[in-house]
Structure 1
Amino acid sequence: MGSTDAALPVGADLRTWLARLQATGRLSLARPGARLRFEVAGIANRLDGTSASLFPKPDGHPVPVVSGLLSQRAWMAEALGVGEGELVERFQDACRNPIPTVESTADASCQEVMHHEVDLAELLPIPTHNEHDHGAYITAGLLIARRRDTGVQNVSIHRLQISGPNRLGALLLPRHTLAFFQENEAAGADLDIAIVIGVDPLTLMASQAAVPIDHDELEIAGALRGAPLPVVKCVTNDVRVPANAEIVLEGRLLARVREPEGPFGEFPQYYGERAERHVIELSAVTHRQSPLYHTIVGGGLEHLLLGCIPREGSFLSHLRSTFPCVRAVHLPQGGVCRYHLYVQVHRPAPGEVKNVILGALGTHYDIKHVTVVDSDVDVFDPAEVEWAVATRFQADRDLVVVPGTQGSKLDPSTTDGIGAKMGLDATVPPGATGMRFTRIRVPGETDLDIEELTGPAPVDWQAACR
């Protein structure tokens, strides 16, 4: 059964989305008791992109596991109530026009049950995903950090290794959470945080927005919903969390403490290596009655697309603010939805494409290769982009290489995150004349009704030709 373009209701939560998936034939129920070590991830991977997965009583645990909630671009567009072609524009608009959260005055569903004695293995069914992962990891937790002086919050997703009953190892890459923490650590102070598991798809998408520091992603979630997101203050600290979340872990990032973390299977389909990394100590767990636990399988489509769509919206907004010729951007799956960026431009000024390349490389350190194409090339079709490179690009004229730049530490081809970046100008060269770069086409081809004009060939097809 197909999807519907109706947006999720303003008060939607994770359960609302699961009901939508079930009603449209996109939620698969695993047999009870699937093993948390590898089997949950294996089943989720086999269904990846076609169906979300629901696992009752995994390894006998009373809390069900769900996975694969947003493993198609079309599903993300559906949650927003827009066409797939409007998805990036809609997200871009939300980043530009955030809606402040509203503090809930009613009892929050995420705090229906409270635990001040924390034993993660007992409370939550946390899977082990890939073969060489160090062990169980929380992978779909929205880590919310709050600046003590301003109260501004940041939302992001980090891999979180279960290191003890109330202890997590965290990989903090050079982004806003790390900046918040470093401010506190310089003063010898821990950083209060919360980890939110099980939210509606719009809040999940908003957590990945690439916006300037001190822009609260929960306000972008409000803009995507078209109404303020209700939040509630944590029980043991001042962090505000989505009131209708399934599970909330409260704690703090410990200043001047590092412990071994990793390896873990990451989005480039390689393992992030073991190293001394940041540590979270938990002080409480709150959750709904009969909660659901969301896990994202490392390297799966949900992992890739969650980082892709919000970034496309953010990158498009950033580039258009400087280069009006930019029409569209795309982070293709072949570039692990992080490292390769396609940019579509319309009638750029002479030399402007190289400026667009440099601007695109500066949007985020993850971007490694940028390919710029004209507006007659579909940036969402990798074959079209490759065709443009094959027929419009010359390396001695159109290649930009920037050595010694900051890249992704998860890219194994870099040296601790330091590597080269590259841009390819695959647009028609300025001043091209005649029919040299005119694309062939058959007039009226797209208007033909093929079902009316053709049909299956009969067995005696030769007779039909007489």
Structure 2
Amino acid sequence: MNTRDAATHGAFSGSLSLSSPLPDSPQTRAWSEPSGALTLRGWLAHLARTGRLATVDQPVALAHELAAVAKRLDGTQVAFFTQPGRRDIPVVSGFMSRRAWIAEAMGVDERALLARFRDAAEAPLASRLVAGGEAACQQIVHTNAIDLHALLPIPTHSEHDNGPYITAGLVIARNPRTGVQNVSINRIQVHGRDRMAILLLPRHLHAFQKTAEAVGDALDVAIAIGVDPLTMLASQAITPIDHDELEIAGALHGAPLPVARCVTNGVHVPAFAEIVIEGRILPNVREPEGPFGEFPKYYSAQEAREVIEVTAVTHRRAPIFHTIVPAEMEHLLLGAIPREATLLAHLQRSHPGVKDVHLSVGGVCRYHLWVQFDKKREGEAKNVILCAFGAHYDIKQVVVVDTDVDVHDPAEVEWAIATRFQADRDLVVIGGAQGSPLDPSTTVGQPDDAPPHLQGVSAKMGLDATRPVVYAAHVFTRVRIPGADKVDLDALVAADNSAFDAWLDRDHG
């Protein structure tokens, strides 16, 4: 966290979680938040105490109005709706919409954010299974006559979205071959009382589903809604298959994550989740899903998608529903930070001179990568560009800059391109590579019903915006005023302009 934010808000100590003992009942034992743990409720309480939570205590419509209010507050305050669609379950959005807040939740300076995430990804902690009946997420259990529309305040976000969507649910499933879990966030359209269509991109969850479907089996899943920011972030880690992201969450917490076994299947979910939807992805069943406004700030088309049949809904007493407004900062940063940490580690293995990376907001925190590099030999920057393209198929544009350029400042990067880059010398273009299927520019020239193997074909562009290793005199020496970074303006600048007014009153005409 930067100095200004630290002075304004104070560091999050990890001991601010709410404690709310619950009475014994047939469904639960007495329960309280664990001391020292970061939970969603504890994090929201901390944000509220430091002026970063806005409570909307008037009814708002679930269709568009809720998302519109959350969008206006995005990046400045968390939106907490007490009467969404006149429901009793509140909705929260935007509690991870600034990099500084995420670093604060981790307990590190913003500059150490990527290193902290990388350390957790490389040293995961096995989860701790909570005994039956002790999981907060299972205080209330619904298994009969489930109606998701009646139970949960599920918003419709963008103008042309085809109905209400779950956008902040951690989808958890087990590898049918090994039993190891995977965690991801997938968009889920709720189009029936107990049926949902889910987008499966060609990643681990999709591989699990195809394995189960190949032998005619359904795939058991759980969707955990309303978890703490560290567990949310861990869900987006880029790992090899058969690495449980909940174990990375444990490492980020500094202790094994408490998990509970679902009531209708064997999936393990965060014990402190607010809401859990249990179900199974049906084999050989597809139903329409979409259009939906995605992170590139365009709509994806309606297509036939896999279907989840709901078998149970469990939740805490007085649960909170979390929704992510698509294409806004919470959505973008959740994808950016784990990718940046993975990309930095990948690049540094081959190029130790790489010092920092940043997925720019203008590149929707997925497509444009800026790399800070300590160049020692000519040509190295182009190797870094090629290495970055191979690290993740989403990367569409790479800019490599010197160590005197701040890759988190768009004006700095643009200045480097303007003064250190020549297109006929420093441009790298690669055509016909795999890119993001959600990038609408990759569909140009393709038929509307193009098969999956033709979707997302993209050109890649790299810009070497580094100065020469050796240059004459001060041609590439950056203009600098000595002492400018040490000036104490608070000590030098007067609190008012009375001295200036007195100067004007003198005979200076």
TM class by smaller structure:
over 0.9
User: CA-atom RMSD, angstroms?
Assistant: 1.6
CA distance in structure 2 between the partners assigned to 1:131 and 1:292 by the alignment: 25
Aligned with residue 438 of structure 1, among 460, 466, 477: 477
Q: Which residue of 2 aligns with 1:279?
A: 307
- CA displacement at 1:128 relative to structure 2: 0.7
Instruction: Give 1:27 deviation, angstroms.
Output: 0.9
Give the equivalent residue in structure 2 for 1:420: 459
Q: Which residue of 1 aligns with 2:25?
A: none
Matched positions, count: 466
**Which residue of 25, 28, 33 corresponds with 2:54?**
28
Instruction: Describe the superposition over 1:233-263 as per-residue Cα deviations: whole angstroms up to 9, x where unpaired.
Output: 1111111100111111111112222111101
Question: Structure 2 CA distance, aligned partners of 1:282 and 1:25?
Answer: 38
Shift of 1:53: 1.1
1:60 paired residue number: 86
Match of 2:229 in 1: 201
Mapped contact 2:98–2:333 kept (Cα < 8 A): yes
Partner residue of 1:47 out of 63, 73, 91 = 73
Please tell me whether residue 262 in structure 1 is matched to residue 268 in structure 2: no
Quick check: 1:56–1:65 contact (8 Å CA) kept in 2?
yes
Instruction: Specify the code of the residue in structure 1 equivalent to 2:115.
Output: E
Q: Does 1:94 align with 2:120?
A: yes
CA contact (8 A) 2:189 2:198 kept: yes
CA distance in 1: counterparts of 2:471 and 2:187, whole angstroms: 50
1:113-168 residue CA offsets vs partner (Å, 9 max, x unmatched):
11112210011000111111101000000001111332211111011001211111
Counterpart contact for 1:3–1:78, Cα < 8 Å: no
Q: Residues 451, 116 of structure 1: CA spacing in aligned structure 2 closer, same or farther, 3 A cutoff?
A: same
* Match of residue 4 from structure 1: 10
Output aligned runs, 1:10-21, within 5 Å. 10-21=36-47
Matched AA of 1:55: F
Q: Which residue of 1 aligns with 2:109?
A: 83
Q: Is the 8 A contact 2:375 2:381 kept in 1?
A: no
What is the identity, as a one-letter code, of the residue corresponding to 1:242?
Answer: P
**How much has 1:6 moved relative to structure 2?**
2.8
Aligned to 1:137: 165
Letter in 2 for 1:197: I
- The whole-number CA distance in structure 2 between the counterparts of 1:211 and 1:314 is 9
123, 128, 133: which is aligned to 2:151? 123
Amino acid corresponding to residue 209 of structure 2 in structure 1: F
- Stretch of structure 1 that moved more, 279-288 or 424-433: 424-433
Q: Is 1:143–1:156's contact at 8 Å kept on the other side of the alignment?
A: yes
Structure 1 residue 214 corresponds to structure 2 residue 253: no
Change (3 A) 1:434 1:56: same
Tell me if the contact between 1:115 and 1:286 (Cα under 8 Å) persists in the aligned partners: yes
**What is the percentage of aligned positions where both structures have the same residue?**
58
Q: Is the 2:169–2:223 Cα contact (8 Å) retained in structure 1?
A: yes
SS of 2:341 mapped into structure 1: helix
Whether contact under 8 Å (1:30, 1:54) holds in the other structure is yes
Give SS of 2:256's match.
coil
Amino acid at match of 2:486: D
Once the 2 structures are TM-superposed, how far is the Cα of residue 436 of structure 1 from its aligned partner?
Answer: 1.6
Q: Describe how 1:446-461 pairs up with structure 2 within 5 A.
A: 446-455=485-494, 457=497, 458-459=500-501
Query: How far apart in 2 are the matches of 1:151 and 1:322?
Result: 33
Provide the rounded CA distance (Å) in 1 between the counterparts of 2:442 and 2:87: 41
Tell me which moved more, 179-188 or 391-400.
179-188
Paired residues of 2:84 and 2:153 also in contact (CA < 8 A)? yes
In structure 2, relative to structure 1, the CA distance for the partners of 1:178 and 1:124 (3 Å cut) is same
Is residue 137 of structure 2 the alignment partner of residue 110 of structure 1? yes
Mark the CA change 1:465 to 1:373 in structure 2 (over 3 Å): closer, same or farther: farther
Q: Match for residue 238 of structure 1?
A: 266
Deviations 1:420-465 (A, max 9, x none): 1111111112433432211110111111222333335534655679
CA distance in 2, matches of 1:280, 1:371: 41
Give the distance between the partners of 1:353 and 1:258, measured in 2 at CA: 46
1:372 aligns with 2:400: yes
468, 473, 489: which one aligns with 1:429: 468
Name the CA distance, whole Å, in 1 between partners of 2:505 and 2:202.
Answer: 70
Pair 1:388–1:188, CA change in 2 (3 A): same
**Cα contact 1:344–1:375 (8 A) shared by 2:** yes
Higher RCO (CA 8 Å, separation ≥ 6 residues): 1
Compute the TM-score of the two structures, normalised by the length of structure 2.
Answer: 0.89
Q: How far, CA to CA, are the matches of 2:96 and 2:308 in structure 1?
A: 27
User: What secondary structure, in the 3-state scheme, does the structure 2 residue paired with 1:57 have?
Assistant: coil
Q: What are the superposed Cα offsets for residues 67-122 of structure 1, whole Å, 9 maximum, x if unpaired?
A: 11111111101101111111111111111111111111261011111111221001
Matched, 1:153 2:159: no
Matched, 1:188 2:227: no
**What SS does the corresponding residue of 2:461 show, helix, strand or coil?**
strand
Question: Contact 1:5 / 1:83 at 8 angstroms: preserved in 2?
Answer: no
Shift of 1:274: 0.9
Q: Runs of 5+ in structure 2 lacking a partner? A: 1-6, 16-35, 444-454
Q: Name which of structure 1's ranges 408-417 and 348-357 shifts more when overlaid on structure 2.
A: 348-357
The secondary structure found in structure 2 opposite 1:11 is coil
How far does the alpha carbon of each residue in 1:328-347 deviate from its partner, in whole angstroms, 9 at most, with x for none?
00011111111100011113
SS in 1 for 2:239: coil
Q: Verify the 8 A CA contact 1:7 1:82 in the aligned structure 2.
A: no
Moved more, 25-34 or 333-342: 25-34
CA distance in 2 between partners of 1:12 and 1:251 (Å):
28
Mean CA deviation greater in 191-200 or 311-320: 311-320
Cα distance in 2, alignment partners of residues 348 and 291 from structure 1: 55
**In structure 2, what is the Cα distance between the partners aligned to 1:463 and 1:409?**
68
TM-score calculated relative to the size of structure 1: 0.97
Task: Work out whether residues 397 and 462 of structure 2, in 8 Å CA contact, stay in contact via their aligned partners in 1.
Answer: yes
2:362 counterpart SS class = helix
Indicate whether 1:323 and 2:351 are aligned.
yes
SS at match of 2:391: coil
Q: Does 1:394 align with 2:433?
A: no
Rg larger in structure: 2
**SS of alignment partner, residue 440 of structure 2:** coil
